[in-house]
Amino acid sequence: MRKSPRQQSNFSPISASHRRKFYFFTKMTTERIIPSPNTLVKYDNPTLVSKRETKAGPSGDEGKKVALTADVKRETEEILNTILPPKEWEEDGQMWRQCVSTNPATRLDVVNLQEQLDMRLQQRQARETGICAVRRELYTQCFDEIIRQVTINCAERGLLLLRVRDEMRMTIEAYQALYCSSVAFGMRKALQAEQGKTDLFNEVENLKVEKQDLEQQIMELKQKAEQAERRAAETRMAEERKHTEEIAFLKKTNQQLKLQLEGILAPKK
């Protein structure tokens, strides 16, 4: 990860020999080591795990002071490695490790961290509101860097911030699990509703077909009823005509019989 001019200006002065060693090591790691992911957390240069060298420290009171300082630094490194585990990878059969930086942060580093955060939020087009994985990732990196800076100055405060970070992560994971279960429940209900809608559509189609059949039956029954009414009317008219003819015939017969009877009963002159 390349450092900005502000970060480069925070380095303490070093001797020419150390600069040559640093340049050689930086060049070697740049040529042979895969660069670490772009993150807001400051990391030291990668180290070869299999080729660590321990240098003998000075003796006497100065040695005790150096040893005490080394113990404090080692303890800080252990705490930092617990909070932010080192990155390890293998290349050409050799194991490389990259730990977080143990250099104390200055006011300029904090300002630079804020600028880097704002710049990356804008570059990666993070959402300002709502759920955004990019914004959460960048703020997580920023919080880890703040924990690193605080831990170097006060390990206890850093461990307390670690508890806060873990609690926040647990809360977010709980919300994520709740969200996933809610989404699954919603999808299940949506599928059920879709299935129910399909069933209702099928039922509507069946009812439409049944309605058409019933309408066809009604039309057929109406036609049959009309035909029956016509036949009944024709039959009634025929019977009435026949009845009228029979009455007329009977009246005529009755009249003839009456005349015959009167002719028989009338006295002869």
The reported pLDDT for the residue numbered 79 is: 85
**15 belongs to a structural domain:** yes
Strand partners, 97: 47, 88
Cα separation, 20 vs 161, whole angstroms: 38
**159 belongs to a structural domain:** no
**169 belongs to a structural domain:** no
Q: Please give the tally of structural domains in the chain.
A: 2
The reported pLDDT for the residue numbered 90 is: 84
Q: What angle do CA 64, 65, 66 make, to 5 degrees?
A: 90
β-pairing, 87-91 with 47-48? unpaired
**Three-class SS of residue 42?**
coil
State whether 32 and 115 are in the same domain: yes
Q: Are 77 and 99 in contact (CB under 8 A)?
A: yes
Q: Are 9 and 121 in contact (CB under 8 A)?
A: no
**187 belongs to a structural domain:** yes
State whether 116 and 220 are in the same domain: no
The reported pLDDT for the residue numbered 66 is: 52
State whether 118 and 184 are in the same domain: no
The reported pLDDT for the residue numbered 131 is: 84
State whether 25 and 97 are in the same domain: yes
**165 belongs to a structural domain:** no
H helical segments located in 33-154: 60-83, 107-123, 133-153
State whether 141 and 17 are in the same domain: yes
State whether 136 and 227 are in the same domain: no
**56 belongs to a structural domain:** no
Residues of the chain where predicted confidence (pLDDT) is lower than 50: 1-36, 51-59
Residue 37's alpha-carbon distances to 1, 42, 89, 192, 216, in angstroms, are 7, 11, 13, 44, 76
- Give the end of a domain, one of 153, 170, 203: 153
State whether 125 and 189 are in the same domain: no
The reported pLDDT for the residue numbered 39 is: 86
Work out whether the CA dihedral 197, 198, 199, 203 comes out positive or negative.
positive
State whether 120 and 210 are in the same domain: no
State whether 79 and 194 are in the same domain: no
State whether 106 and 25 are in the same domain: yes
Domain that holds residue 36: 5-50+64-153
User: In the numeric block, which tokens belong to residue 193?
Assistant: 């509703």
State whether 125 and 241 are in the same domain: no
**171 belongs to a structural domain:** no
**167 belongs to a structural domain:** no
Report, in angstroms and rounded to the nearest whole number, the Rg of the chain calculated over CA atoms.
53
CB atoms inside a 10 Å sphere around CB 198: 10
State whether 119 and 192 are in the same domain: no
H helical segments located in the chain: 5-9, 16-32, 60-83, 107-123, 133-153, 155-265
